[in-house]
Structures are given as structure tokens and as C-alpha cells.
């Protein structure tokens, strides 16, 4: 008599666990999509800033036609990339490379770097890159948690039954990223353009102090009688 009751309780627990797991998958998938929407918003803001930046630089360096064309073409390709996060990340590579060329040109014109419109665009683009970095980390963190559940047992059974598939990370091409992080805009110092450091406030390591001499000082002269 107790066997059917025990089996019924087990079945009910399995069903409740399956429903809870399914609902968690739905919540995580929606969180991933919302996080991707934040990345897309920052990318679109960057794309909107680039034409004004190009026109401002062009006013001081109109002969750099090839650089402007490269930026314009790369921006058009990135704007048209509306596929997966991996495809979007691949389209960002040429755009970042073209922006590096543009900033290298700007570095050669002191009057341009003092232009108020240029400074405002520089500040807004830098802020956009900071927000993009934050959005990218948040998105990848949520994708990592979601994919872990898709791959793990027993939640992978629910994922397989209801079609929950792994999501793609948003990663910049390693060949263009350099050390780490998303592109950051900077015009200070001797190196122009876009850097790929993990943070904006880092300082170079201090030079090591010169080693102390190992030789002992000479003894004082003997007193004379």
C-alpha cells in the first residue's frame, strides 16, 4: 500500500523540480537577452558618434581620405551585423582597427585635440566604451551561468526537452584586443589612439630602485702621533 504512495510522491517531486528548473531556464535566458540588449544599445551609441568624429577630424586633415573611408566602411559593416554575438564581435574588429588609424591621425594635429567639439566627442566616446565594457562583462557572466546549467546534469535533461541551447559569448578578436578588455579611447601621453587595457586608471610599474653598492666604505685613516 505504501509503495504507490511513495512512487506518487517521487513523481510529484520530479515534476515540481522539472517545473522549477524550466522556469529558471526561462528567467536566465531572458536575462541573457536583456544583457545583450544593453550591449547593442552601447554599440549603436558608438556608431552614432563616429560620423561626427570623422567630420571633425576631416576638418583638420582632409587629405587623409583613405583613413576616413576605412572608418566609414568598417562602421557600415558593423552596423549591418545583426546576427549572433559572435558575428557582431567579428564585425567590431575592423571598426576598432580603423578607429586606431583615425586617432593616430588626430594625434598629429594639436589644434584638433584642443577643439571643443572634438573634446566633447572624445569624452562621450570614452564614456560609451566604459559602459560597453560593463555591459559586456555582465552579458558574458550571465551566459556563463546559463550555459553551465545547459551542460550540467540533471538540468541538461530539461534543456534538451524544451530546446534551451547554449548562448554565445561576446568576445573581441584576440589579435585586436591585445592584453585584455574592450577598446578604450585615449589621447594622453605619447601613444595615440585606442588601447586595449583592462582599466583606465592603471599606472605603469615604478622603476626598480638602484641596487645598493655591495662594497663597504673604506676605513678611516689611522691617527698620526
Largest CA distance in the chain: 119
Cα–Cα distance measured from residue 170 to residue 39, given in angstroms and rounded to the nearest whole number: 9
Give the homologous superfamily in CATH for domain 2-195. Answer: LemA-like domain (1.20.1440.20)
Angle between helices 2-58 and 155-162 (to 10 degrees): 70
- Residue 51 neighbours by CB distance under 10 Å: 12
For the chain, the structural domain boundaries read 2-195
Q: Which grid coordinates belong to 193?
A: 589612439
The model carries a pTM of 0.71
Q: How far is CA 84 from CA 61, 88, 116, 161, in A?
A: 36, 6, 38, 23
CB 50 within 8 A of CB 71: yes
pLDDT, residue 114, reads 86
Tell me the average pLDDT across 78-95.
86
Cα–Cα distance measured from residue 62 to residue 166, given in angstroms and rounded to the nearest whole number: 47
Tell me the average pLDDT across 174-185.
42
pLDDT tier for residue 70 given thresholds of 50, 70 and 90: very high
pLDDT, residue 225, reads 38
- Top mean pLDDT of 151-155, 169-173, 182-186 is at 151-155
Could you report the per-residue pLDDT of 147-168, keeping only the tens digit for each?
Answer: 999 999 989 999 999 999 999 9
How long a stretch of residues is the chain? Answer: 225
How far, rounded to the nearest angstrom, does the alpha carbon of residue 56 sit from its chain's CA centroid?
26
The half-sphere exposure of 70 on its side-chain side, counting CA atoms within 13 A, is 16
**201: pLDDT strictly greater than 80:** no
Cα–Cα distance measured from residue 74 to residue 68, given in angstroms and rounded to the nearest whole number: 10
Amino acid at each position: 500500500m505504501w509503495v504507490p504512495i511513495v512512487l506518487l510522491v517521487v513523481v510529484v517531486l520530479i515534476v515540481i523540480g522539472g517545473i522549477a528548473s524550466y522556469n529558471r531556464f526561462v528567467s536566465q535566458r531572458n536575462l541573457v537577452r536583456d544583457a545583450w540588449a544593453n550591449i547593442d544599445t552601447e554599440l549603436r551609441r558608438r556608431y552614432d558618434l563616429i560620423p561626427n568624429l570623422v567630420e571633425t577630424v576631416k576638418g583638420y586633415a582632409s587629405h587623409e581620405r583613405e583613413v576616413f573611408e576605412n572608418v566609414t566602411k568598417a562602421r557600415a559593416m558593423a552596423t549591418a551585423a545583426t546576427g549572433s554575438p559572435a558575428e557582431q564581435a567579428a564585425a567590431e574588429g575592423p571598426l576598432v582597427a580603423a578607429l586606431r588609424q583615425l586617432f593616430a591621425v588626430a594625434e598629429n594635429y594639436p589644434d584638433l585635440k584642443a577643439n571643443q567639439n572634438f573634446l566633447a566627442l572624445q569624452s562621450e566616446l570614452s564614456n560609451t566604451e566604459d559602459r560597453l565594457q560593463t555591459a559586456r562583462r555582465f552579458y558574458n557572466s550571465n551566459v556563463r551561468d546559463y550555459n553551465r546549467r545547459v551542460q550540467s546534469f540533471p538540468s541538461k535533461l530539461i534543456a534538451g526537452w524544451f530546446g534551451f541551447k547554449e548562448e554565445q559569448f561576446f568576445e573581441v578578436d584576440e589579435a585586436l584586443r591585445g592584453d585584455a578588455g574592450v577598446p578604450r579611447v585615449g589621447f594622453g601621453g605619447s601613444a595615440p589612439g585606442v588601447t586595449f587595457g583592462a582599466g583606465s586608471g592603471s599606472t605603469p610599474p615604478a622603476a626598480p630602485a638602484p641596487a645598493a653598492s655591495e662594497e663597504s666604505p673604506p676605513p678611516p685613516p689611522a691617527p698620526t702621533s
